[in-house]
Amino acid sequence: MADKFLRGAMILTMAGLMVKILGSVNRILLSRLLGGEGIGLYQMAYPVFLLMLSVSSAGIPIAISIIVSEKVAKGQFKAAEQVFKISLGLMVITGLCFALTLFFGAGWLVESGFVRDPRAYYGLIALTPAVFFSTILASFRGYFQGYQMMTPPAVSQILEQFTRVVTMVVLAYCLLPYGLEYAAAGAAFGAVPGAITGLIVLSFFFRRLRKNTAAAPQLANTETESVYTVAKRLAMLALPVSCANIMVPVTSSIDMLLVPNCLYASGYTIEQATTLFGYLTGMGMPLVMMATIVTVSLAAGIVPAISEAFTLGDKLTIIKKSRTAMNICCLITFPAAAGLWVLATPIAQMIYNAPQAGEAIRHLAPSACLLGIHQVTTGMLQGIGKTAVPMWNMLLSAVVKIGAVMFLTVTPLNIVGAAWASNINFGLAALLNIIFLLRSGITFNAKVLAKLLAATLLMAAAAELIYTFVNGLFGNTIAAITTIFAAIAVYAVLLFVLKAVSKDDLEKIPFIGSKIKRR
C-alpha cells in the first residue's frame, strides 16, 4: 500500500507540474514580449515580493499543519478549527502591515540603490496587494495540509496560477506601448487576481470540510486552548520555519542587489547588466525551479509524516520515510541537473530564443539538484523538531554567497560566477542539513544514491552524443526534443540495469503501484 505522505506528495507534484507548465508558458511569452531587459525589471521587483511574503507567512503553513495534525489525530476537530481561525486573524493583520510596508517603502528601495533600476518601482507598487492576499492564503493551505488533504491546495494552486498567467500576459501586452517599465509592472500585478482566486477556491473547500467535521464524532477531551496559547505556539513553530524559508528569497535579493552592480563595475552598461541578470534569474532559475517540483511536494508532505512518527517515538519509520524522500529527490534532480547542463544552450534557444543565455543556464544547472536536496532535508529537520537548524544553515550559506557573488562576479567569470555563487549557497545549506540529520541518527542509503549518480552520468554522456548527431540532421529544436525523450528512456533503462530501482519500489508508487502489483 502506498505511503500516505507519498500519495499527498504525488498530488502536490501533479499540481506543481501543471503550475510550472503554466508558469513556463508565461515565462516564454513574457520573455519574447519583454526581452531580457523587461524580464530583468520584473525580476528586480518580484524577489522583494517573495521576501515580504516569506517574512509575513512562510512558516505559517508548516506550523498550522503540525498543530492541526495533532488535533485531528486526537479527534479534536473543533480545536483544529480554532487553530485555523486564530492563525487566519493573525495573518490578516500581518498581511496588511507588510503590504503597507512595501507600498510606502518602494520609493526608498529605489532611492537607496537596493533596487538598481528606478523603472522597477512600478512593479513593486503593483505587487503590494498580492502580499496581503497571499499571506491570508497561507493559513488556508496549512489547515488542509494538517488534515493531509492535498487536493484542495492543489486545485487552488492550479487555478491561482492560471489566473495569474492570463493577467500577466494580457496586462504586459496592453501596457507595453506605454513603456517597458509599465509592461513589467502589469506582469507583476498578475499575482493579485491569482491570489484572490486561490482564496475563493479554498474558502469553498473549507466550507465543505467544516460540514463534514461538524457531523463527525468528537472525543471527550475537546477543550479548546486560549487564543494566547495557540498564538504563542504558532509563533514558536512558525518563526524558525519562516526564517529558514525566508533565506531562499533573501538569496534572490542578494542576486538582485549585488549581481547587476558587480556586472556594472566590471564594465557593462546598466542595460547590459540588467539583460545578463535576466538571463540568470529570469530564464535560468525558472528551469532550475521546474526540477524541484517534486522536492517541494516531498518537503510539504514529509513534515507532518515525520512529525507524527517522531511524536510516537517510531525512529524506524522516521528513517524509512527519510530514505524514501531522499531517494525520490535524487531520482528526479540528478538527471534534471545533468540534462540542463548538457542541453543548456539548445534549451535556451528553443524556449527563449536566446541562445546567449545558455552559458548562465549551464552553470546554474547544479542548483537543480542542490536546492532539491536542501528542501527535502529541511522538511526532515522540521519534522523531528529541529526547526531552527535549517534557519542557521541557510543564514550561514547566504553569508558565504554574498562573498562568492562579490568575488566571482567581478572576475572574468561575470554572470557565470554569479551562477556558481548560487550553487555554493544551496550546496552548503544542503550539506549542513545532512550533517545534522546524520548526527540525529537519520541515515541514507548511500549505495542507492551512488547507483542513481552513475545512471545520471551515463545518461548525460548519451544525451551529448544524441544531440550532436540529431542536430546535424534536423536542427536544434527537433534535436533538443528528441534528446530529452531519448535521455529519459536511457535513464529509465539504466535504473533497472544498475538495480537502482526495483519492482518493490514501483509498487509503493501511489495510484499506479497497485496495478503493477497485480501483474
Report the pLDDT value the prediction gives residue 42, as an integer from 0 to 100: 86
Q: How far apart are CA 378 and CA 507, in angstroms?
A: 27
Per-residue confidence (pLDDT) for residue 220, from 0 to 100: 45
Residue 374, Cα to own-chain centre: how many angstroms?
11
Does the structure show a pLDDT above 80 at 450? yes
Instruction: Phi first, then psi: give them for residue 117, nearest 5 degrees.
Output: -95, 120
Tell me the pLDDT tens digit for each residue of 44-77: 888 788 878 877 776 788 888 878 877 777 777 8
Average pLDDT over residues 233-243: 78
Tell me the CA end-to-end span of the chain in Å, nearest whole number: 15
What average pLDDT is seen over the chain? Answer: 85
Q: Which residues contact 289 (CB under 8 A, 6 or more apart)?
A: 20
- Reported as a pLDDT band with limits 50, 70 and 90, residue 111 is confident
Residues 6+ apart with CB under 8 A from 159: 197, 198, 201
Tell me the three cell numbers of residue 172.
504586459
Confidence of residue 237 (pLDDT cuts 50, 70, 90): confident
| Amino acid, single-letter form, for residue 409 | T
Site of grid cell 473549507: 206
Q: Where are the domains of the chain?
A: 4-444, 445-519
251/50 Cα distance (integer angstroms)? 11
Query: What is the four-CA torsion angle of 329, 335, 339, 342, rounded to 10 degrees?
Result: 120
Radius of gyration of the chain (CA): 23
CA 271 to chain centre: 29
Grid cell in block for residue 294: 517534486
The rounded distance, in Å, linking the Cα atoms of 230 and 340 is 45
Q: How far is CA 398 from the centre of its chain?
A: 17
pLDDT digits (tens, 9 = 90+) for 400-437: 998 998 888 877 888 888 899 999 999 999 999 999 99
Q: Give the mean model confidence (pLDDT) for residues 457-478.
A: 92
Percent of all residues in the chain with a pLDDT value above 70, rounded to a whole number = 92
Judged against a pLDDT cut of 60, whether residue 320 lies above it is answered with yes
CA 236 to chain centre: 23
